[in-house]
A and B are shown apart, each in its own frame.
Chain A
Amino acid sequence: MRNHVRERRDEAELSQADLAAAVGVTRQTINAIERDRYDPSIELAFKLADFFDCRIEDIFDPELDG
């Protein structure tokens, strides 16, 4: 699943460690999400959307077929 976490984080001028601390995960997890190597749980997706004050769909793109 593609996402815009990196762009959002850059806009907020935060490090991966800062964002990780804010949403309660490790820096490696944020790094894996930004590199499209890990799809977060619904709970974490909600936390990220809440942190960036937007909807989940604004950050995550499921790339649905059709």
Chain B
Amino acid sequence: MSDHEPTGTGRLAKVRRYRRLMYACIGVGVGGFLVATEFDYPLVGLVVYWAGILAFLGVWKGTSVTLYDERDLDLERRASLLTLQIAGAVGLLAMTTLVVTDQLPSVDVPERVVGGFLAISGLFVLYGIVYTVVRYRR
């Protein structure tokens, strides 16, 4: 390690600072969007939102400090898989329930609920497409 590089503790403080800055960018972006939309300035809200997102990406990609590493990616993979499994279980239960309730004239399933189930199905279709692409690219 060269002399001008920060020590482990200094680097750690830098990581914390950058991470806080990134979350602040997202917070300002989302908060600004909500406030501006509330006060009938949707275009301003959109600009603030995207400024926040771009600032987040700028901090993330612009620093040489390791903010996220292989363990973060591993955690993301595990969380994504778990999310998909939960969505799968809910989707399977929902689909069978929908088929049964569709046969019962006395039960009327709200369109929002049907839409939610269709969204879960769409998620699986998207997963299948992405999986296929990733598989053939590796």
> Chain A: residues with CB nearer than 8 A to chain B?
14-22, 24-29, 32, 38, 40-41, 43-44
B66 touches A27 (CB 8 A): no
Q: CB of B62 within 8 A of chain A? A: no
What is the predominant secondary structure among interface residues of chain A facing chain B?
helix
Chain B: number of interface residues, binned into ranges: 10 to 19
A-B pairs with beta carbons under 8 A, tally: 53
A26 touches B68 (CB 8 A): yes
Docked pose: A43 CA to B71 CA in angstroms: 13
A24 touches B12 (CB 8 A): no
How far, in Å, is B59 (CB) from chain A's closest CB?
16
Which residues of chain B from 35 to 83 have a CB within 8 Å of any chain A CB? 66-72, 74
Minimum-distance CB pairs A-B, first 6: A17-B8, A18-B8, A29-B71, A25-B69, A17-B12, A21-B11
